[in-house]
Amino acid sequence: MNRWKHFFKTYFLTELRAGLWLTWRHLFKRKVTVQFPEERTPQSPRFRGLHALRRYPNGEERCIACKLCEAVCPAAAITIEAGPRESDGTRRTTKYEIDMFKCIYCGFCEESCPVDSIVETRIFDYHFEKRGDNILTKEQLLAIGDRYEVMIAEDKLEDAPYR
């Protein structure tokens, strides 16, 4: 009996037809595609995207060149050179670069920062057009921070109770 059942199942392609029927039904189902630039999926405030360097409200850059982020970075994407600032002699970075090709967006730099200077924003749709553009300099990072400060601050505030 079982043999016959198996025979029929094999030669009448029962299981294959069941599969075809499934895809046929899905052909007419509602589509779930998110039309990206017009529609976006909701994001968490903890989303880890493009990096930014923040400033204090008075305009002073937060980074104190402690190099913790450079040390913790698993992909060795961050390069920092430090030195006293010419105007007041405080310890600052003279060079702060992130190679975005190396970065794996793990967020360790953000976690390690004692002054909440380096952060990862929610921005994920960016691109580079030339070779070399992938290395973000300190000026670029600060500019990103200035531009999205409101969003960054809100996200940090929302996440603060859980830290």
Residues that bind another protein (CB under 8 A): 2, 6, 10, 13, 16, 19-20, 22-24, 26-27, 29-33, 35
User: Which residues in 34-59 are b (16+ Cβ under 10 Å) and which e?
Assistant: eeeeeeeeeeeeeebebbbbbeeeee
Tokens, residue 93: 């970075």
Which residue's CB is nearer to another protein, number 33 or number 87?
Answer: 33
As measured in angstroms, the least distance from the Cβ of 124 to another protein is 19
Which residue's CB is nearer to another protein, number 6 or number 95?
Answer: 6
**105: Cβ contacts below 8 Å, ≥ 6 apart:** 48, 49, 120
As measured in angstroms, the least distance from the Cβ of 35 to another protein is 8
Which residue's CB is nearer to another protein, number 23 or number 87?
Answer: 23
As measured in angstroms, the least distance from the Cβ of 20 to another protein is 5
Which residue's CB is nearer to another protein, number 2 or number 41?
Answer: 2
As measured in angstroms, the least distance from the Cβ of 41 to another protein is 15
Sign of CA dihedral 129, 132, 134, 137: negative
Please count the residues of the chain: 163
* Residue in this structure with the two tokens 């294959």, named with its chain if needed: 16
